[in-house]
Amino acid sequence: MLVMAAIPLLGAEKAKLLRAGAATSNLTPPLGGGIIGGFHPIPSTHIHDELHARCLVLDNGETRLAIVVCDLLGASREVYDEARRLVTEETALPGAHLFMSATHTHSATSALGTNRFRINTPLDDYQRFVARRIADGVRRAINNLAPARIGWASGSEPNHVFNRRWFLKPGTMPVNPFGSTNDLVKMNPGRASKDLDRPSGPTDPEVALLSVQTPEGKPIAVLANYSLHYVGGVGNGHISADYFGLFCDRLQQLLGADRQSPAFVAMLANGTSGNINNIDFSKPGTRDEPYARMRLVADDVAAVAFKALQGIQYHDWVPLGAQLRELEVGTRRVTPEQIARAREVLARPRTLPRAATLEEIYAERTLGMAEYPARLAIPIQALRVGDVGITGIPCETFVETGLELKARNPFKPSFTHSIANGYYGYLPTPEQHRLGGYETWLGTNRLEEQASTQIVTALLEMLRRLKGE
């Protein structure tokens, strides 16, 4: 299924009026819920900083778009589908025009449901809350619609992005949870280890920006995109939006946009960071106080964004367009031998009632994948905002895919939101699949090995249609 918005002619630009509105909705869960991010959730005991759905609505008189960035590790497709239903029912915004993603903070309660290997499951209480609050945020942003102008820019912050997958020296690869040493790369291999050889891929240091102001120059919202996984370093049991939330606070300070009415909304989306984190494994580590590293990253990225915003050329009207497509892809298939081994692992005596070792955890995931559908229709999305192309992929997307989309994109600049409209695990490229490692393991990765290639092809086709090519 392909839903497409009409693209107005550029020649009408001067005769049109752009309006924009922004708002936030609080997504903070009650204390006691499981904090997802590690293999074993722990109960939350403290709220360090609130979680939000950060919403921006653009309306050029012919097309209306809504963009929402949520402070969540991820959310199931069913959560986003319910939010889309509510927004369309309550505001008449076409479902294809609502673009939602998650930041991937590792210090939030799960909106993925109790079993991520099952689809079309009923929503739990927190998932229903998240969907409701997304819809509320979009409605509030629509209530705030006012004349606006928009521009775009980009900066670069290379000091906080590192490829976390490394080749190791021959003979040093540990056994993976499936009993094999066939992996050629290891995720997070240890700081300054003598076994390190080289990173297995590139990084993307771009800080891409959309800026929206009133005609008088008062900030309304900034949407930023940076390809860095969460930073972490939170207090034990703490709920936190990670560096994404701290970036928003800092950019608001730099812009002098505190205590505005309506409130200024900063948004930082997770780019293609499936294999990127903040750790330079070639150097020894340091012991930081909780939140110290996170704040350093947020402040540096906000400083780059603030500098780039100073040179923006603003437009009183721009074309807007959206496409949302159900792309059918295959999933990873489990062999009889893998099922037999998983059952044998789980039949062994355990020291704990739950799966404790990686071998046990991935045995459970193997059996979960055995029940996964052979094919899935996954939502992929593309937006046009003037000369900017924005894409959404419902996976932890590798940086190589983001760089390819930027290089081949008919729009300049362009950027991708990972974990958009759903969550289907990691999305390595076929080349990275051949190297193995955590992100390619069965259960961490759910979609077929060629899925990233199929997604790129489909998104580029959608973007070309939005461009009118």
| 110/267 Cα distance (integer angstroms) | 21
Residue pair 103/242 in contact by the 8 Å Cβ criterion: yes
Query: pLDDT tens digit string along 389-415?
Result: 999 999 999 999 999 999 999 999 999
Last residue of one domain, picked from the residues 317, 344, 370: 370
Please work out, in degrees rounded to the nearest 5, the angle formed at the alpha carbon of residue 87 by the alpha carbons of 82 and 90. Answer: 120
Query: Minimal CA–CA distance to 268: which of 39, 71, 465?
Result: 71
Residue 186 lies inside a defined structural domain of this protein: no
Residue 188 lies inside a defined structural domain of this protein: no
pLDDT of residue 76: 96
Q: How distant, in Å, are the alpha carbons of 17, 41, 65, 213, 390 from that of 145? A: 12, 40, 12, 12, 22
Statement to judge: residues 377 and 355 lie in one domain? no
Statement to judge: residues 291 and 345 lie in one domain? no
pLDDT of residue 37: 76
Tell whether the model's pLDDT for residue 220 goes beyond 80: yes
| Widest distance between CA atoms in the chain | 74
Query: Minimal CA–CA distance to 324: which of 87, 46, 106, 61?
Result: 87
Please work out, in degrees rounded to the nearest 5, the angle formed at the alpha carbon of residue 333 by the alpha carbons of 337 and 425. Answer: 120
Statement to judge: residues 307 and 426 lie in one domain? yes
Query: Minimal CA–CA distance to 334: which of 366, 290, 298, 295?
Result: 366
Query: pLDDT tens digit string along 418-434?
Result: 999 999 999 999 999 99
Statement to judge: residues 252 and 357 lie in one domain? no
Backbone conformation region of residue 61, classed left if phi is above 0, alpha if psi is from -120 to 50, else beta = left
Residue by residue, DSSP assigns 350-366 as -SSSS--SHHHHHHHHH
Residue by residue, DSSP assigns 356-412 as -SHHHHHHHHHHHHHTS-SEEEEEEEEEEETTEEEEEESSEE-HHHHHHHHHH-SSS
pLDDT of residue 40: 80
Q: How distant, in Å, are the alpha carbons of 171, 173, 186, 222, 432 from that of 183? A: 11, 7, 7, 41, 11
Residue pair 234/240 in contact by the 8 Å Cβ criterion: yes
Least confident window among 110-114, 185-189, 272-276: 110-114
Statement to judge: residues 203 and 158 lie in one domain? yes
Q: Sorting pLDDT into bands at 50, 70 and 90, what band is 115?
A: confident
Tell whether the model's pLDDT for residue 7 goes beyond 50: no
Looking at the structure of the chain, the number of domains it has is 2
Statement to judge: residues 206 and 234 lie in one domain? yes
Q: Sorting pLDDT into bands at 50, 70 and 90, what band is 263?
A: very high
How many beta carbons lie within 10 A of that of residue 56, not counting itself? 27
pLDDT of residue 16: 87
Mean of pLDDT values over 65-94 = 98
| 248/317 Cα distance (integer angstroms) | 26
Greater model confidence, 119 or 201:
201
Mean of pLDDT values over 254-265 = 95
Percentage of residues in the chain with pLDDT exceeding 70?
A: 97
Last residue of one domain, picked from the residues 312, 345, 370: 370
Residue pair 191/281 in contact by the 8 Å Cβ criterion: yes
pLDDT of residue 10: 46
Statement to judge: residues 360 and 445 lie in one domain? no
Statement to judge: residues 345 and 204 lie in one domain? no
Q: Sorting pLDDT into bands at 50, 70 and 90, what band is 62?
A: very high
> What would the two tokens of residue 173 be?
């690869």
Statement to judge: residues 298 and 417 lie in one domain? yes
| 29/47 Cα distance (integer angstroms) | 9
| 232/230 Cα distance (integer angstroms) | 6
Mean of pLDDT values over 50-54 = 98
Residue 190 lies inside a defined structural domain of this protein: no
Query: pLDDT tens digit string along 302-359?
Result: 999 999 999 999 999 999 999 999 999 999 999 999 999 999 999 998 877 777 899 9
Residue 324 lies inside a defined structural domain of this protein: yes
For residue 58, give the 3-state DSSP assignment: strand
Domain that holds residue 73: 2-162+199-330+372-467
Statement to judge: residues 100 and 204 lie in one domain? yes
* Type of residue at 24: T
Please classify residue 237 by burial: count the beta carbons closer than 10 Å to its beta carbon, then call 0-12 exposed, 13-18 middle and 19+ buried.
middle
Mean of pLDDT values over 87-99 = 98
Query: pLDDT tens digit string along 125-151?
Result: 999 999 999 999 999 999 999 999 999
Residue 189 lies inside a defined structural domain of this protein: no
> What would the two tokens of residue 426 be?
């990691």
Residue by residue, DSSP assigns 175-221 as P-TTS----SEEES--TT-TTEEEESS----EEEEEEEE-TTS-EEE
pLDDT of residue 469: 82
Tell whether the model's pLDDT for residue 83 goes beyond 50: yes
Query: Minimal CA–CA distance to 273: which of 85, 103, 32?
Result: 103
Q: Sorting pLDDT into bands at 50, 70 and 90, what band is 14?
A: low
Please state, rounded to an integer, the average pLDDT across all residues of the chain: 94
pLDDT of residue 15: 67
Instruction: Give the strand pairing for 98-102 and 64-70.
Output: parallel
Please classify residue 411 by burial: count the beta carbons closer than 10 Å to its beta carbon, then call 0-12 exposed, 13-18 middle and 19+ buried.
buried
Q: Sorting pLDDT into bands at 50, 70 and 90, what band is 12?
A: very low
Q: With b meaning 16 or more CB within 10 Å and e meaning fewer, what string describes 152-175?
A: bbbbebeebbbbbbbbbeeeebee
Residue 306 lies inside a defined structural domain of this protein: yes
pLDDT of residue 294: 97
Q: Sorting pLDDT into bands at 50, 70 and 90, what band is 4?
A: very low
Return the axis-axis angle of helices 451-467 and 399-408, rounded to nearest 10°.
Answer: 30
Statement to judge: residues 283 and 358 lie in one domain? no
Residue 77 lies inside a defined structural domain of this protein: yes
Tell whether the model's pLDDT for residue 9 goes beyond 50: no
Percentages helix, strand, coil for the chain, rounded to the nearest 5?
A: 30, 30, 40
Beta bridge partner(s), residue 277: 162
Residue 402 lies inside a defined structural domain of this protein: yes
Statement to judge: residues 443 and 346 lie in one domain? no
Last residue of one domain, picked from the residues 370, 392, 425: 370
Percentage of residues in the chain with pLDDT exceeding 90?
A: 89
For the question of whether the overall pTM of this predicted structure is more than 0.85, the answer is yes
